[in-house]
A = this chain, B = another copy of it.
C-alpha cells in the first residue's frame, strides 16, 4: 500500500519504517512482555530506552558534553513561560521578532520579565530577516531569544546569529521546534535550544530542551517544580513521569536519522542534503511557474515550511480538493497567512515533493 504524502505543519508525517516498528512492538517491547506505554519509567527497560534516545540525539546533533538534554512536556508554547521562569531572573531579556512564533514567545515572557524587542521584521510582514545592523541588543539581557524557523511565515535563519560579534555577551536561546534535526546546530553560538517534538521528531506532547549546564539553577521561586530545568536535569528528566511513549518514538526517529544515506553522506548530513534538494526543487518551480508565489526573502526561505499562494483565493478550494484526490494531504495555509503551506520535514521524501510539484504544474496548466 502506498501512503498519501502528508504535508501537515505538525503533528506531521513520520517515517513509515518508524511507524511500522512502533506497531510491531506495541504489545511486547524486545521480549519484555510489556508494551513501551505500559512500562514503569523507573524500570530498567524504559531507562534503557530513554538513555539510548538521549545518546542518539547527542550523536545526531553533536551536542557537547557540557550541555544537558531534558525531555519535558507542554510543547514550545509552555517553554515561552518556562524559559523566562528559569533564565530571566526577573530582569531584562532581548527578543528578536521574525514571525508569529517569536511574537508569541515575547508576549508570554512579559508575564515574568522585562522584554526588550531587539529587532523585528513586522514592517516586512515577516518575510525578511531583520538585518543585523538593525538589532539593538541590551547590555544586560539575561538572554537573547530567536525563533530560528518560523513555521507559519516560512522564515528560517540559515545561519544562527553570532551574538559576540554583535556586541552582546548574553546567551542565545533558540526555538528550533520546526527545524530541529534538519541540519546541524552551531553550539558555539547557542546556549539553549528548545523544540516541540511534533514536527520533525515525533509525537505531540514531548518537548526537547538542550541547555548549557552553567545556565541551570536560577529559576524564579514561582517556577513550578516540574519546570525547573535544574531539577529536571538532576533527575534525568524524571522528577515526574515523563511522556514515555513520546521519548520512545523520538528515539526511533533518531535511529532512523542515523541510518539515512544520501550518496556519500550519512545521518544528519544526508538529511540536510536531502532537505536542501527538496526545498530547492520546490522554490525553483514556484519562482519559475508564473502562477504560484512565495513572498519570503531568498536568503531566509525555510527548508521546512513553505507558504505559497495561488493567483486568487477562489482557486484555493479546487487546489486543495484536487490535491487530496492526488494523495497530497494537509496543504491548507495557516489562517493568519492564508494561501497554502507545504511542510516538508525530514520524513517527507523527495518523491513527495516531486509529486506535489507535478500536481501543481498540472493544476497551473488547467487554471493558468
Q: Which residues of chain B are within 8 angstroms of A41 by Cβ–Cβ distance?
A: 11, 204
Interface residues of A (CB under 8 A from B): 1, 3-4, 6, 8-14, 16, 19-20, 22-24, 26-28, 33-35, 37-41, 43, 73-75, 77-78, 80-82, 85, 108, 111-112, 196, 198, 202-206, 221-222, 224-227, 239-246, 249, 327, 329-330
Shortest Cβ distance from residue A66 to the other chain B in the assembled complex, whole angstroms? 28
Cross-chain contact A198 with B241 (CB below 8 angstroms): yes
Cross-chain contact A245 with B19 (CB below 8 angstroms): no
Give the docked Cα–Cα distance between A264 and B41 (Å): 38
Cross-chain contact B81 with A224 (CB below 8 angstroms): yes
CB<8 Å pairs between A and B, sample of 7? A3-B27, A6-B38, A14-B35, A78-B227, A81-B225, A198-B241, A204-B243
Cross-chain contact A26 with B27 (CB below 8 angstroms): no
Give the docked Cα–Cα distance between A1 and B26 (Å): 14
Q: Which residues of chain B are within 8 angstroms of A39 by Cβ–Cβ distance?
A: 8, 11
Q: Which residues of chain B are within 8 angstroms of A222 by Cβ–Cβ distance?
A: 111-112, 222
Cross-chain contact B26 with A26 (CB below 8 angstroms): yes
Copies, count:
2
A24-B23, A73-B78, A108-B225 known; A330-B43 Cβ under 8 A? yes
Cross-chain contact B3 with A28 (CB below 8 angstroms): yes
Cross-chain contact A239 with B14 (CB below 8 angstroms): no
Given contacts A23-B24, A74-B226, A203-B244, could you give 7 more A-B pairs where the C-beta distance is less than 8 Å?
Answer: A23-B27, A73-B73, A73-B205, A74-B240, A82-B224, A85-B224, A111-B222
Give the docked Cα–Cα distance between A217 and B78 (Å): 19
Set B20, B35, B78, B242: member contacting A224, Cβ < 8 A: B78
Q: Which residues of chain B are within 8 angstroms of A43 by Cβ–Cβ distance?
A: 8, 330
Cross-chain contact A240 with B203 (CB below 8 angstroms): no
Q: Which residues of chain B are within 8 angstroms of A11 by Cβ–Cβ distance?
A: 37-41, 241, 244
Cross-chain contact B81 with A245 (CB below 8 angstroms): no
Give A239's nearest chain B residue, CB to CB: B77
Give the docked Cα–Cα distance between A218 and B4 (Å): 45
A12-B38, A205-B205 known; A111-B221 Cβ under 8 A? yes
